Every structure is written in C-alpha cells, then in structure tokens.
Chains A and B, each alone.
Chain A
C-alpha cells in the first residue's frame, strides 16, 4: 500500500538485477521446500499485481525441483484495505483468482515489497473469507522495514533499510518488461 503521491522520484540505487532476482527466487523456493519438509499440501497466493507474478515464479521453481504441480492463485486485497474510507477515488480492482480450496493447505502468501504490514493484514482477512488454511507463511522479495503492525515474514529475498522519503520499485518482466529492483528517492521540486 505504498502511496503514489504526485511527488517525483529519481533512482538512487539498483538493489537487484535480473540475475539476482532469479537467484533470490530460487533460494526462497528451496527454503519453502525445506521448511515444509516437502511440498505436500502446499499452495500459493500472490498479492496483486507483482506478488501474484512472484508466486507463479516461485511455484514454477518448486515444480521444476519436485516435478509436481502446485496450485497458484492471485489475491486482490483492495476491498480489505483499512484506509478505504480515507482515500479517494476508490482504487481500481483486480481479480482475485484462487480456483482451488485453500482450506487445510500450507499456504504461502507472496508479495513484492514488505513495508508497513497493512497489505499483509488485509490479505490475511481476505484469505479468511476464502477458506481456512492449515498454516499461512509469508514470502516477500524485499523487506524495507517500518512495520506498523505485529507481522513478520517467513521468507525474505533481501532486507533493505529505507527511509520514508524513499520508495522501492520492483519491476518484473511480466508487468514491466524487465526484472530489477531499484530504490528511488523523493525529489523536492
């Protein structure tokens, strides 16, 4: 739920290039298999938009290793945001598409940037309306700190200390034409 204010930003540093993104996702895939002692009952839900892309990629890595299909879905958390009554206009909705029963699964929730924790809080509420997983674990590509809720991640691609004046941009080839993660800083006009 990073705010996209009208302020302008300029790139400060590249945190991950395409190879680093790929290696990071492979490592997370292995960690997920290790922590869950295999892939029995595993499922993925990625938070729209880029979390959903990452969920597909991590699941594909695991499938390549274990040679078994894993259910993957996408989750739009807009309707569960805690700031809906404070922002205007209402955000554009994307589709929640979880076409498998999540009840009793070991569900891996995936997002691109872990920040205040409010998106994950909304996602947990959304999942509770869809089913009752046996366990929910959180995988994120970037943890930029500044939590406002008591939530932590189980799998972290990269920890990056940031200031509120900065924003982390995750770009993925499916949505942005290339894979990279950059940190941008606010430019005061």
Chain B
C-alpha cells in the first residue's frame, strides 16, 4: 500500500499569464508550477475514465502552419482529457492558402468565441504577434527556431521523474543546436532550474556564440557524453537547410551518432532523450533508442500531462486579465 499525502505545493505562486509563449519569459516559480501541475495531471491518464471536467465549455483551436503529428495529437488528446472542445486547422486546408493574413484568421476564429489557440508556425515570433492581438490565450507549439515550451517542459518533467531533480544535473544536448527550438527552450528552462547544459554538434550547427546562453559548447561528442546525467539527442532535420551544413548523414552518424560503443564512456545512470521522430541509425542507434537508458516513450506520456497542465493554467490566466488583475 502506498499512500502519500501530497505536501502543500512547494511554490505559492499562481499562474496569472494569458499565454504560454516560451520559457525565456517565465520565472523559476512559474516553471516549477507548470511542472508540479503536470505531475498532478499525469495520474488522470492512468484512470479507467481518462477525463476531468476542468475545461468544460472551452474551445481549443489547434492552428498548425507547419506539419506536425505528435505535438498536434498530444495537444488534441490533452484538450479532450480536460473536457475542452477542439478543432484542428492546418495551413494547407485553410484560408491561409487563399492569402488571408494571420491576424484576419485569428479575428475570424475569435468571432467564433474560441478560448485557446495552440499555434505552430515556421516563423519565429508568430505566436507572440497573435497573443498581442487576441483575447484568446495562445500556447506556442513551436515557432521557427525560437521556442517550443511544452517540449522543454515535458523534457524537464521526464528528467525530474527519472532522476529526482534538475538542479545540479549535467545535461548534454547533441545535434543541430543552431536551428532547434527544442534546444533553445530547454536551455532557458534547464539553466533557470540550475542544471549545467552542454551543447554539442558539428561547428556548422553549433556556433561558439551559443555560449552567451550560459551553456558549454563542445564539438567533441565524447566530451559531451562523459559526466552527463542526461543525453538529449536532436533529430537531424534533413527537410530543413541542414543537408548543406553536414556533408552527409553517414558522416554525421560517424562523428555524432550515439551507439553502444560511444555509450560505454557514459555514466551507468545516464538517460537518453529524443523529442522524436527518431532517425534510427543516424543520431541514435536502434539498440540505444530501445535500450534500458532510453526514456523516449516516457517523454511522450509526460507531454500529454504537460499540455493538459498548460491548457488548465492559461485558461485561468485569461480570466485574470478579464477581471483586470
């Protein structure tokens, strides 16, 4: 029999923001609140009836201007599990294709009285622009190479779940750091919570100027692996400009791919993370992706809880603004 009476939340801060745009603008307490709220939501998906009535009567719009399956599906399930109604709009099937401006699209959606806009866009800053013009809450589901806050939060929740803490841990992020919104949001979040972050990859993808974010830069993957508590691999995004920045995938694998041999230098307790989808045999070998160190599927499970928490908190934050608080 395990019974734990949860102690009163370690932070007394409450969420008063209308939007969740990025981790850069959040305080340490706000990030901790998001994580502890997500922890509470995790249990709901283990119930026979996986649904709570918290956002009954609210409408969430998934507005994806860039293709996405897992993030969109995760937000969709999260909305349904907190009893919100949800519609999906993808750029190719919307009036965007007919030349409507983003602000007009948003104004039209608001005329339909929607409450939360979940936005993904290839250009950095679009969710921020929309948030300024919309009464509805905006959650950034990835904007260009800028931020992807819910991904970083689910990564942090997974680290906390597996290793018990974030503060004092060494986290190495390996891959295309320069173009990665996942890396950027994780760098903001992890350093705020007291982890030391190392970024690693080919110099074309990991500029030395990344040091200004308060991280260590290395181009030697062995150095990134040694002493790391967490290895976070990023997908080689061959659909983006990267093909010009790395000679070929085989060379990337030889220099930066994680396989059994390379992992011999790692701490026995190391956990391997990946935001997915994994290019098996490029950044990560199948034996490692499916191996005992991998927490990739736990990340997916935690993503759902983080998105339920984000929807719950911003819906309350929007009310604060209504009241004029």
Question: Would you call A97 an interface residue if the criterion is a C-beta within 8 Å of the partner chain's C-beta atoms?
Answer: yes
Candidates B5, B14, B47, B51; contact of A174 at CB < 8 Å: B5
Residues of chain B within 8 A of A131, CB atoms compared:
48
- B 203-247 to A, binary, CB cutoff 8 A, 1 in contact else 0: 000000000000000000000000000000000000000000000
Residues of A within 8 A of B (CB-CB), count = 37
Asked if residues A92 and B52 are in contact (CB atoms below 8 Å), the reply is no
A53-B5, A99-B3 known; A89 and B316 CB under 8 Å? yes
Give the shortest distance, in Å, between B42 (CB) and chain A (any CB): 9
- The B-contacting residues of A in range 42-79, CB under 8 angstroms, are 46, 48-49, 52-53, 56, 69, 71-74, 76, 78-79
Asked if residues B313 and A90 are in contact (CB atoms below 8 Å), the reply is yes
Question: Would you call B292 an interface residue if the criterion is a C-beta within 8 Å of the partner chain's C-beta atoms?
Answer: no
Asked if residues B6 and A97 are in contact (CB atoms below 8 Å), the reply is yes
- The B-contacting residues of A in range 80-100, CB under 8 angstroms, are 80, 84-85, 87-97, 99-100
Asked if residues B8 and A72 are in contact (CB atoms below 8 Å), the reply is no
Residues of chain A within 8 A of B33, CB atoms compared:
92
Number of A-B contacts (CB under 8 A): 109
Candidates A93, A94, A130; contact of B47 at CB < 8 Å: A130
Residues of chain A within 8 A of B322, CB atoms compared:
88
Residues of chain A within 8 A of B48, CB atoms compared:
130-131
Asked if residues B312 and A90 are in contact (CB atoms below 8 Å), the reply is yes
Nearest A residue to B40 by beta-carbon distance? A93
- B 29-63 to A, binary, CB cutoff 8 A, 1 in contact else 0: 00001001101110110011101111001000000
A125-B53, A130-B47, A131-B48 known; A92 and B3 CB under 8 Å? no
Question: Would you call B15 an interface residue if the criterion is a C-beta within 8 Å of the partner chain's C-beta atoms?
Answer: yes
Asked if residues B53 and A80 are in contact (CB atoms below 8 Å), the reply is yes
Asked if residues B51 and A129 are in contact (CB atoms below 8 Å), the reply is yes
Give the shortest distance, in Å, between A177 (CB) and chain B (any CB): 12
Question: Would you call A36 an interface residue if the criterion is a C-beta within 8 Å of the partner chain's C-beta atoms?
Answer: no
Residues of B within 8 A of A (CB-CB), count = 41
CA distance A76 to B6 in the complex (A): 10
Give the shortest distance, in Å, between A109 (CB) and chain B (any CB): 15
Asked if residues A88 and B323 are in contact (CB atoms below 8 Å), the reply is yes
CA distance A126 to B325 in the complex (A): 30
Question: Would you call A175 an interface residue if the criterion is a C-beta within 8 Å of the partner chain's C-beta atoms?
Answer: yes
A56-B5, A73-B3, A74-B3 known; A129 and B319 CB under 8 Å? no
Residues of chain A within 8 A of B316, CB atoms compared:
87-91
Give the shortest distance, in Å, between A91 (CB) and chain B (any CB): 8
Question: Would you call B69 an interface residue if the criterion is a C-beta within 8 Å of the partner chain's C-beta atoms?
Answer: no
Question: Would you call B303 an interface residue if the criterion is a C-beta within 8 Å of the partner chain's C-beta atoms?
Answer: no
Give the shortest distance, in Å, between B50 (CB) and chain A (any CB): 9
Asked if residues B319 and A89 are in contact (CB atoms below 8 Å), the reply is yes
Residues of chain B within 8 A of A96, CB atoms compared:
40, 43-44
Asked if residues A79 and B54 are in contact (CB atoms below 8 Å), the reply is yes
Give the shortest distance, in Å, between A123 (CB) and chain B (any CB): 13
- B 1-39 to A, binary, CB cutoff 8 A, 1 in contact else 0: 111111111001011100000000000000001001101
Asked if residues A72 and B323 are in contact (CB atoms below 8 Å), the reply is no
Asked if residues A72 and B319 are in contact (CB atoms below 8 Å), the reply is no
Question: Would you call B175 an interface residue if the criterion is a C-beta within 8 Å of the partner chain's C-beta atoms?
Answer: no
Asked if residues B51 and A89 are in contact (CB atoms below 8 Å), the reply is no
CA distance A129 to B45 in the complex (A): 11
CA distance A95 to B36 in the complex (A): 9
CA distance A126 to B41 in the complex (A): 13
Nearest A residue to B82 by beta-carbon distance? A79
Give the shortest distance, in Å, between B51 (CB) and chain A (any CB): 7
Give the shortest distance, in Å, between B116 (CB) and chain A (any CB): 13
Question: Would you call B257 an interface residue if the criterion is a C-beta within 8 Å of the partner chain's C-beta atoms?
Answer: no
Give the shortest distance, in Å, between A42 (CB) and chain B (any CB): 13
14 contacts between A and B (CB under 8 A): A48-B5, A48-B6, A56-B3, A72-B1, A72-B3, A74-B3, A74-B4, A89-B317, A93-B41, A95-B40, A96-B44, A97-B3, A129-B47, A131-B48
User: Closest 4 interchain pairs by CB?
Assistant: A90-B316, A88-B319, A79-B54, A93-B40
19 further A-B contacts with Cβ under 8 Å, apart from A92-B33, A93-B37, are A46-B5, A49-B8, A76-B6, A79-B54, A80-B53, A84-B54, A87-B319, A89-B317, A90-B14, A90-B316, A91-B14, A93-B309, A94-B8, A95-B6, A95-B39, A95-B43, A96-B43, A97-B2, A97-B43
